[in-house]
């Protein structure tokens, strides 16, 4: 089987290759595609070296699947070309997420929305993926009325330029290129994505729009504040959840602990709570600090952490492909 990875030289693209190898695709024909400046370079994969090709050459090879992590502009241009060749595209950018004709998928929640005729499938934003998976059993059992979210997002969500900025600042050097308008070392700022006219950022808007689409419930009230922090290991989120029906904490704990892909790590007496250092290089979503909101009924607080490059991007995309392969 031919599988193309578009944007293979980036942080997420390289992680996609790692996850493919880990999940048993080491012997498949893997096509690695990237921008013109990377053509001809080699990437190590499963004990062999893969030569980077152009996206156009990858299209001509007509792979069964093409997994994109190359930005919205590239996806809008090339994903339909792959689809025209009969390739199923799984896209990690924002290009198709709001398109009502394109499924937006977290496989543990809504893989069933993908039809056999779908050729472009959207991978949600990293901060959305971990939250909706952590909440999915509560949504099914009680229904969700409102979410108030504050994120603490790793610099890796911005890409390698942000990592290099932080590393230079940690060494006391001036970064060769600034990914952010301010230093990130020993700092944080409430700015992720671009500011919209209403004062919210595009990263905050993604949490709103994507959550409603994945849960197929446009009535959920959602507000969010996105914060970028000098962390490499993953994204963290403080989530306040107002449910439609009354709950018990005992049942909530059981539901979350039984959710595939989720680890309940919640023992304050032992200082056990999720942290990026625990989630780094892992695929699970970690949930802790569960407690009732004492200020209003049917509401609870939780803390959600996941590696944004793995489950928040690469792993989720590969899992979608694996589920589709099972249908063949």
Tokens of 298: 């049917």
- Catalytic position from the list 235, 272, 280, 281: 235
Q: pTM for the complete prediction?
A: 0.96
Contacts of 308 (CB under 8 A, 6+ apart): 126, 127, 130, 153, 154, 156, 157, 234, 235
Q: Are 227 and 188 in contact (CB under 8 A)?
A: yes
Question: Averaged over 280-299, what is the pLDDT?
Answer: 98
Question: Averaged over 129-147, what is the pLDDT?
Answer: 98
Return the percentage of the chain with pLDDT > 90, whole number.
Answer: 98
**126 part of the active site:** yes
pLDDT at 328 over 90: no
**280 part of the active site:** no
For the chain, domain boundaries:
2-124+313-327, 127-308
Contacts of 193 (CB under 8 A, 6+ apart): 201, 202, 203, 204, 205, 206, 226
pLDDT at 240 over 90: yes
Taking only the tens place, the pLDDT of each residue in 27-40 is 999 999 999 999 99
Tokens 């959207």: give the residue: 122
Tokens of 139: 């949504």
Please, what is the end-to-end C-alpha distance for the chain in angstroms? Answer: 12
**Assigned CATH class of 2-124+313-327:** alpha beta
- Catalytic position from the list 126, 185, 280, 281: 126
Taking only the tens place, the pLDDT of each residue in 67-116 is 999 999 999 999 999 999 999 999 999 999 999 999 999 999 999 999 99
Taking only the tens place, the pLDDT of each residue in 139-184 is 999 999 999 999 999 999 998 999 999 999 999 999 999 999 999 9
Fold of 127-308: Dihydrodipicolinate Reductase; domain 2 (3.30.360)
pLDDT at 49 over 90: yes
């Amino acid at each position: 089987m031919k599988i193309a990875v578009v944007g293979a030289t980036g942080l997420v693209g390289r992680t996609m290759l790692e996850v493919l190898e880990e999940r048993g695709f080491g012997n498949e024909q893997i096509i690695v595609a990237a921008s013109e400046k990377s053509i001809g370079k080699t990437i190590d994969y499963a004990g062999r070296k893969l030569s980077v090709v152009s996206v156009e050459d990858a299209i001509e090879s007509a792979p069964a699947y093409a997994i994109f992590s190359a930005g919205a502009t590239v996806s809008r241009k090339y994903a339909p070309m792959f689809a025209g060749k009969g390739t199923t595209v799984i896209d990690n950018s924002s290009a198709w997420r709001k398109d009502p004709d394109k499924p937006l998928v977290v496989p543990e929640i809504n893989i069933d929305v993908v039809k056999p005729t779908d050729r472009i499938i959207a991978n949600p934003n990293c901060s959305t993926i971990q939250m909706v998976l952590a909440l999915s059993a509560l949504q099914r059992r009680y229904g969700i009325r409102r979410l108030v979210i504050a994120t603490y997002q790793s610099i890796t969500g911005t890409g390698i330029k942000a990592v290099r900025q932080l590393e230079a600042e940690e060494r006391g050097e001036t970064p060769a290129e600034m990914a952010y308008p301010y230093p990130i070392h020993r700092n944080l700022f409430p700015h992720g994505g671009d500011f919209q006219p209403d004062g919210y950022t595009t990263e905050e808007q993604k949490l709103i729009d994507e959550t409603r689409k994945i849960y197929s419930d446009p009535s959920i009230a959602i507000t969010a504040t996105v914060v970028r922090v000098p962390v490499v290991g993953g994204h963290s989120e403080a989530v306040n959840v107002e449910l439609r029906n009354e709950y018990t904490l005992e049942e909530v704990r059981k539901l979350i602990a039984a959710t595939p892909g989720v680890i309940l790590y919640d023992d304050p007496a032992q200082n056990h709570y999720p942290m990026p250092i625990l989630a780094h290089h892992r695929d699970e979503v970690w949930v802790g600090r569960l407690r009732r909101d004492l200020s209003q009924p049917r509401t609870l607080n939780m803390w959600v952490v996941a590696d944004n490059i793995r489950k928040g991007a690469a792993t989720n995309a590969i899992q979608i492909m694996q589920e589709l392969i099972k249908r063949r």
